[in-house]
Structure 1
């Protein structure tokens, strides 16, 4: 089950469409959907989590906590709407596409994809682009 939670003034339009899209991504990756919670927040909220749990003192667009069991995906995905808006502006892309990129990025981590090495980042970006096209 995919759920959407809000710790800021933002509300994701068409939640059901986003939920169906993420479900399709999960099944396309041969994984099973468990409980996945998206928490949309602002920079301050996510910075606090970053400092408390990861000992990082930087702004970020996403932090995901993976509680998956094998191929059954479970987790909490925190997204800073402030960062997504800023990134969309910086990369000159539509906000809707950037929010999709961040949302699918978290799920792809749960599916086993990494983004530390150059090769891993390229594969992750390729997967993101593929699924963004499917969700548009």
Structure 2
């Protein structure tokens, strides 16, 4: 077993929300294997709405709140290397809005970012449906 996981978690907000971190890191690595994608490293950064809004403005020129922003930093043809920013505030609000648990919504968003890095899109309705199906698949596998 390696000393360091390719999946790392950093908390500016919400550290208390994520339990079983070692198991989750291993599961995210296995998601990449299942999707036949090589993984060098992912840094998940859990932050506030305001922090992610500023990233959205600066890097994507969008002026609105979002729950997740994924930056694929990989060189072409190389294993995935990425940063994923998740707004804990947005995840909390979405859990209320969609009438699901905070735990379920947080993991859905975590898997959503990984799935983007595996090539799944979500701009078109057809792609959104596929993304939802994949999120549900990995949520079911994780929480079985």
Same fold (TM over 0.5): yes
Equivalences, count = 136
Q: Pick closer, same or farther for the CA change 1:135–1:71 going to 2, 3 Å.
A: farther
Structure 2 residue runs of 5 or longer lacking an equivalent are: 1-5
Q: Does 2:13 correspond to 1:2?
A: no
In the other structure, the counterpart of 2:3 is none
TM-score w.r.t. length of structure 1: 0.95
Cα distance in 2 for residues equivalent to 1:84 and 1:40: 10
The 8 Å contact of residues 34 and 74 in structure 1, kept in 2 or not, is answered as yes
Q: Pick closer, same or farther for the CA change 1:112–1:71 going to 2, 3 Å.
A: farther
Equivalent in 76, 84, 88 of residue 77 of structure 1: 84
The root-mean-square deviation of aligned C-alpha atoms, in Å, is 1.2
Pairs within 5 Å for 1:1-136: 1-11=6-16, 12-69=18-75, 70=77, 72-136=79-143
1:63 aligned counterpart, secondary structure: strand
Structure 1 residue runs of 5 or longer lacking an equivalent are: none
TM-score w.r.t. length of structure 2: 0.90
Cα distance in 1 for residues equivalent to 2:100 and 2:19: 18
Cα distance in 2 for residues equivalent to 1:4 and 1:18: 10
The 8 Å contact of residues 31 and 73 in structure 1, kept in 2 or not, is answered as yes
1:8 aligned counterpart, secondary structure: coil
1:53 aligned counterpart, secondary structure: helix
